[in-house]
Amino acid sequence: MPTKKIDINRWLDKLKRIEEKVERLALLSQLSQILNSTLDHKEIQRRAMEAATRLMKAEVGSLLLVDEEKHQLYFEVALGDREEDIKTISLNFGEGIAGCVAQHGKPLIVNSPGKDPRFFKGVDERTEFETRNIICVPVRVKEKIIGVLEAINKQGKGKFDKEDLSLLNSLADQVAIALDNSRLYQELEEMFFQTAESLADAIEKRDPYTGGHTQRVTLYSQAIAKRLQLKPLEKKWLKIASVLHDIGKIGIEDHILRKPEPLSPEEFDIIKRHSDMGAEIIEHIRQLRESIPGVKYHHEQLDGKGYPDGLKGEEIPILAKIVAVADTYDAMTTDRPYRKAMEKEAAIEELKRCSGTKFDKGVVEAFIQAYRRGEI
Amino acid sequence: MPTKKIDINRWLDKLKRIEEKVERLALLSQLSQILNSTLDHKEIQRRAMEAATRLMKAEVGSLLLVDEEKHQLYFEVALGDREEDIKTISLNFGEGIAGCVAQHGKPLIVNSPGKDPRFFKGVDERTEFETRNIICVPVRVKEKIIGVLEAINKQGKGKFDKEDLSLLNSLADQVAIALDNSRLYQELEEMFFQTAESLADAIEKRDPYTGGHTQRVTLYSQAIAKRLQLKPLEKKWLKIASVLHDIGKIGIEDHILRKPEPLSPEEFDIIKRHSDMGAEIIEHIRQLRESIPGVKYHHEQLDGKGYPDGLKGEEIPILAKIVAVADTYDAMTTDRPYRKAMEKEAAIEELKRCSGTKFDKGVVEAFIQAYRRGEI
């Protein structure tokens, strides 16, 4: 009889462990869905660290990414109150547990870090955190190690074991895929912006006095947007509108665009058509429609004296209000065929003077804040 | 004692089932990695169907996607010999098991399809396949049903059960995420091409005689590439090079670009600079570098009499050889300020005449094949 009883207990124990495994695998599947359902790099990193913490039943989790040039790992994210501290720390390859994993590509479990010569005390010292045990696996994209995923301090009095390792390895594979998809997406997005910028630059070059104008307007617009708390998508449309705001000048003839003397009223009427023409070009691109208002109306004024439609006040879309201020400031502070550039402070005064009549007050304020902070 | 024995058998049975569940969850995790490790829509669809087949231990699996406009489901892929047949079938919403799942958003298991009025016999009839049982779940992206995932005929004599349903639901969630990421990527890629095309069009519009040239050259290049079996990445660089091949004309002054009379040798030398200038614009965009040869050398000739560098024969990159033929054919078959368009057949004869001297023989041959097939 006693032997039978022991058998049953062993079975029960085995059953319990395996049921727990089912739960953890189901959790892994759920976490991998969460990981893959965004293409935002930062967000994937945050979710990876949370996933490692939950899946490992640990106190904290972190994702360290490889900086190939510096041969270092840096803490991109980590959970807990001390997040800001941890973010600033980087490890050399081979330094600390994470550094060893990144160098050799082999996962590690260290249940007594104090006794392990590889353990790097720097992080604990700077964060007043006590590492009791640590599990760490490489994150690989096509055989290349792009980072390491780790969890620290198993909850309760437990230690990390082989099953943890197998689960964390699977999670790391999912993290690698999600990060790689995000990288591909961001590279494509970058390619889009760079191409649009290069073409805008090339178009600008027909007008020898406006070199770099597009890039500066884009920079200024983004600095304004940061302070106006635009939504991420609005920021994206604003960036596109800024890059393409003068694209309609492609249709203006050389002899007008390049005229060194001041323009006649008739010539100025032709120049004025560039905002409408720019909007027309963009209208053909379904995915860019949201950015059209910023291009079409960037010469409108609050008092209705702008062009092309003489819109007033709140009729003017926010994207256009922002591009208008960025565009005007850059026009004032660069040389033109018929006049020298204005001093920056004088241009700021001019923006202030026209705030509420030509320009939106909030936009001008945001611009000046960014200027005072040296962002412009 | 007998009761004890039964208990143990029950435990053993339970243990066996739960161990199987562990295996299937591990498989789910593996399949979701496979699904998410590509951003190619077709490839995800193929992997989804394979995954459903494996995870369900079924004979076939399919993924049906919603066509929103037609209110239909269509078989995007399905496993087995009859794949081509199955691909051509579409179901109306509410029609068949899959149509019901798409309409109501509720998963279904049908273990006796012959007795189920919802079952649509059309597919079996057209494919000489016998559906014994079927499991079908909706594929949702942000609450919206974009398709259904199904598996048909459990291997052996088994039937589909609740556990299958739970696993297939999880797989469908992963499929939804992978398809959605792929959609976002492809929309961005489309945005890139459309923007580049629109800007190229706008630049073209300065030259009133070349409207639509860029689009046609891109179309012709792609028709050639299909026959030359270029790699997918080469095709992508070719497409970009075709769209941007004349981008350097942005830097050519109106009075030369628009001159209705034939150009003087000096003016022609200026026009010739457009291929180098185009390459210079693109050089600033890291991700587009691979397409530069197609832009820079699209006016080179096999006999070395082209420009800008007078490259000969195999020195000329394949992208440039393709753009050259597409570009020349379009130039010949459209009106120019100083001459009328040539007849298509005459232009083909001219390509043939210059094959091996100006143009690559293989490229000309591919072009003519595409032309004879009505693709050009």
pLDDT in tens, A256-279: 888 888 889 999 999 999 999 999
**Token pair 């490992």 in the structure block, residue:** A56
Query: Which of A21, A33, A184 faces B173 most closely, judged by CB atoms?
Result: A33
DSSP symbol at A311: -
**Partner-chain contact A184 B185, CB within 8 Å:** yes
The CATH code belonging to domain B205-372 is 1.10.3210.10
Q: Which residue of B has its CA nearest to A34?
A: B177
Q: How much is the average pLDDT of B366-370? A: 96
Asked whether this complex has an ipTM greater than 0.90, the answer is no
What confidence score (pLDDT) does residue B1 get? 45
Query: Which of A18, A198, A247 faces B19 most closely, judged by CB atoms?
Result: A18
What confidence score (pLDDT) does residue B21 get? 92
* End-to-end Cα separation, chain A, in angstroms: 84
The CA distance from B128 to B82, in Å, is: 9
Classified as helix, coil or strand, A369 is: helix
For B47-85, write each residue's pLDDT tens digit.
999 999 999 999 989 999 999 888 889 886 555 555 555
Tokens of B355: 């094959």
Range with the poorest average pLDDT among A246-255, B131-140, B299-308:
A246-255
Tokens of A14: 């085995």
Q: Where are the alpha helices (DSSP H) in chain A?
A: 2-36, 41-55, 83-87, 96-104, 122-127, 162-204, 213-228, 232-244, 254-257, 265-283, 292-296, 318-332, 344-354, 361-372
Confidence of residue A253 (pLDDT cuts 50, 70, 90): confident
For B80-118, write each residue's pLDDT tens digit.
555 555 566 788 888 889 999 999 999 999 988 888 888
* End-to-end Cα separation, chain B, in angstroms: 85
Cα A322 to chain centroid distance, Å, stands at 21
- The reply to whether A2-183 and A205-372 are identical in fold is no
- Closest C-alpha among A338, A342, A340, A197 to residue A258: A338
What confidence score (pLDDT) does residue A291 get? 95
Range with the poorest average pLDDT among A168-182, A346-360, B75-89, B127-141:
B75-89
CA A133 to each of CA A113, A115, A161, B96: distance values in angstroms, whole numbers, following the listed order: 6, 11, 11, 56
- Residue A253: list chain B partners with CB under 8 A: 254
What confidence score (pLDDT) does residue A338 get? 75
Q: Which residue of A has its CA nearest to B21?
A: A22
What confidence score (pLDDT) does residue A1 get? 45
Residue, of B88 and A181, whose pLDDT is higher: A181
pLDDT > 70 fraction of chain A, expressed in percent and rounded: 93
Residue, of B223 and A125, whose pLDDT is higher: B223
- Dihedral angle sign, alpha carbons of residues B14, B15, B16, B22: positive
| Cβ–Cβ < 8 Å for B77, B179 | no
**Partner-chain contact B285 A191, CB within 8 Å:** yes
**Partner-chain contact A33 B282, CB within 8 Å:** no
Classified as helix, coil or strand, A132 is: coil
The CA distance from A357 to A312, in Å, is: 10
- Residue A17: list chain B partners with CB under 8 A: none
* Maximum alpha-carbon separation in chain A: 110
What confidence score (pLDDT) does residue A82 get? 55
A2-183 carries CATH number 3.40.50.1000: no
CA B67 to each of CA B41, B96, B103, B145: distance values in angstroms, whole numbers, following the listed order: 15, 16, 12, 11
DSSP symbol at A263: P
Quick check: B147 pLDDT over 90?
yes
Quick check: A81 pLDDT over 60?
no
Residue, of B205 and B230, whose pLDDT is higher: B230
Whether the predicted model's global pTM rises above the 0.80 cut: yes
Angle of helix A361-372 versus helix A213-228 axis, rounded to 10: 100
The CA distance from A132 to A114, in Å, is: 8
Q: How much is the average pLDDT of B272-300? A: 92
Task: Give the domain ranges of chain B.
Answer: 2-183, 205-372
Confidence of residue A209 (pLDDT cuts 50, 70, 90): low
Range with the poorest average pLDDT among A176-190, A197-211, B230-244:
A197-211
